[in-house]
Structure 1
Amino acid sequence: MISSQPDPLEERELSSEQLLDGRLLKVWRDRVLLPDGSEGVREYIRHPGAVVVVAVLPDGRLLFERQFRYPLRRVFLELPAGKIDPGEDILACAQRELREETGYEAQQWRYVGVMHPCIGYSNERIEIFLATGLGHVGRQLDEGEFLELLALSVEEAEEAIHRGELTDGKSIAALYRSLPVLEAGVG
């Protein structure tokens, strides 16, 4: 049964102040009314959202990327992904990112779901897609973007997770959200 009453855990914004207006991230500090009637402060990042693509090659292997990620100063293994541009449709974003980063286009697209990777300090959402019927058309990396492609079977990807070689949260979540479809033989 859906209640029209507010959730008793809800915090309500009293005031909001932007602390940083970066190219990608916007940092805010809000004063909020807490459930017990007292006030608190919440600092968080506003993010435009992103997509991640589980791309299945004709042989059943999945496309992964190796990419240097500056905040942690190391190379990570991850699925193709990217930021949603203002006003951009999420499927169009997924299609664009797959083509730009990997050089592949897909004949079939399936929406898998959404994940929220950093709920304690960001409003970021990542929309998950499964892409099959891949054909190579040539990639078009963004300026300043450098990455290597590799293909892993689902089993190899799971082993990489358990060995600590694949630690990217969006890639792990997308893979596991897609497993029921992958195990059913899609691709």
Structure 2
Amino acid sequence: MSQNDDAHLREHQLSRTELLRGNFLHVVRDHVRMPDDGQATREFVLHPGAVMVVGLLDDGQVVLERQYRYPMQAVMVEFPAGKLDAGEASLVCAQRELLEETGYSAREWAFAGRLAPTIAYSDEVIDIWFARGLALGERRLDEGEFLDVFSATPAELHAWCFDGTVIDSKTLIGSMWLQNVLRGEWSLTWAGAQGAAAAGESAP
């Protein structure tokens, strides 16, 4: 499948209006030209990008979090994750978020892939990182951040994805990646921080 064949599907921006610039959300309305030369509006959230970390413990379990998500009015089970700071490299963000939220640092990292969790109304892209050789230190939670850190087996996580305990999209995708990696169907290239960073930067 080639993007060169997508001309009949593409929309082209004609103008942009800023609707909201809050502490977290940046919402815009674009006026676009459609493939048939008609016009329409598209309202969506601009996002700086984010990372998610699948942390593998030496005993085969994975590092997870329980965090209250106000829009959902519920506590969610998730992999550690967070958004990129301005100018921050993907792996640097992954290392920072893993340490701040869980207290773990990792000896080796592997870039797995990318996911776009809300393509209808946001340009957010999340980089998926795997980490192993974990060493536990002290968490450095942001002010006003409250979450529990725990571990579970991949089988437990898979069961929670199936029974609806886990509904967070990035964690569902992370569980799928983990399952395929453990089965040997998908491969990862492990490296120290420098080599892993290069692999992440060169990914499409």
Alignment TM-score > 0.5, same fold = yes
Q: Note if contact 2:154-2:178 (Cα within 8 Å) is conserved in structure 1.
A: no
Identical pairs, percent = 43
Equivalent in the alignment of 1:181: 181
Bigger helix fraction: 2
> What amino acid does structure 1 have at the position aligned with 2:28?
W
TM-score of the pair, normalised by structure 1 = 0.94
Residue ranges of structure 2 left out of the alignment (5+ in a row): 191-204
The root-mean-square deviation of aligned C-alpha atoms, in Å, is: 1.9
Equivalent in the alignment of 1:50: 50
Instruction: Report the Cα distance in structure 1 between the residues aligned to 2:109 and 2:42, rounded to whole angstroms.
Output: 38
Matched ranges for 1:120-139 at <5 A = 120-139=120-139
Equivalent in the alignment of 1:23: 23
Aligned length: 187
C-alpha displacement at 1:179, in angstroms? 2.6
Evaluate the alpha carbon distance shift between residue 167 and residue 2 of structure 1 in structure 2; reply closer, same or farther with a 3 A threshold: closer
C-alpha displacement at 1:183, in angstroms? 3.2
Equivalent in the alignment of 2:9: 9
Q: Secondary structure at the match of 1:100?
A: helix
> What amino acid does structure 2 have at the position aligned with 1:95?
Q
Instruction: Report the Cα distance in structure 2 between the residues aligned to 1:156 and 1:5, rounded to whole angstroms.
Output: 42
Q: Secondary structure at the match of 2:101?
A: helix
Deviation digits for residues 35-91 of structure 1 (CA, Å, limit 9, x no counterpart): 011100100000111100000111010011000001111100000000100100000
Deviation digits for residues 116-141 of structure 1 (CA, Å, limit 9, x no counterpart): 00000000000000000000011111
Q: Note if contact 1:52-1:126 (Cα within 8 Å) is conserved in structure 2.
A: yes
Matched ranges for 1:111-150 at <5 A = 111-150=111-150
Q: Secondary structure at the match of 1:122?
A: coil
Instruction: Report the Cα distance in structure 1 between the residues aligned to 2:160 and 2:5, rounded to whole angstroms.
Output: 46
Instruction: Report the Cα distance in structure 1 between the residues aligned to 2:81 and 2:3, rounded to whole angstroms.
Output: 37
Residue 162 of structure 2 is aligned to residue 155 of structure 1: no
Deviates more, 1:122-131 or 1:6-15: 6-15
Evaluate the alpha carbon distance shift between residue 126 and residue 3 of structure 1 in structure 2; reply closer, same or farther with a 3 A threshold: closer
Instruction: Report the Cα distance in structure 2 between the residues aligned to 1:162 and 1:138, rounded to whole angstroms.
Output: 33
Equivalent in the alignment of 1:93: 93
C-alpha displacement at 1:181, in angstroms? 2.4
> What amino acid does structure 1 have at the position aligned with 2:167?
T
C-alpha displacement at 1:180, in angstroms? 2.7
Instruction: Report the Cα distance in structure 1 between the residues aligned to 2:4 and 2:133, rounded to whole angstroms.
Output: 45
Equivalent in the alignment of 1:80: 80
> What amino acid does structure 2 have at the position aligned with 1:8?
H
TM-score of the pair, normalised by structure 2 = 0.87
Q: Secondary structure at the match of 2:117?
A: coil
Deviates more, 1:173-182 or 1:112-121: 173-182
Q: Secondary structure at the match of 1:87?
A: coil
C-alpha displacement at 1:160, in angstroms? 0.6
C-alpha displacement at 1:178, in angstroms? 3.1
Q: Note if contact 1:106-1:131 (Cα within 8 Å) is conserved in structure 2.
A: yes
Q: Secondary structure at the match of 2:156?
A: helix
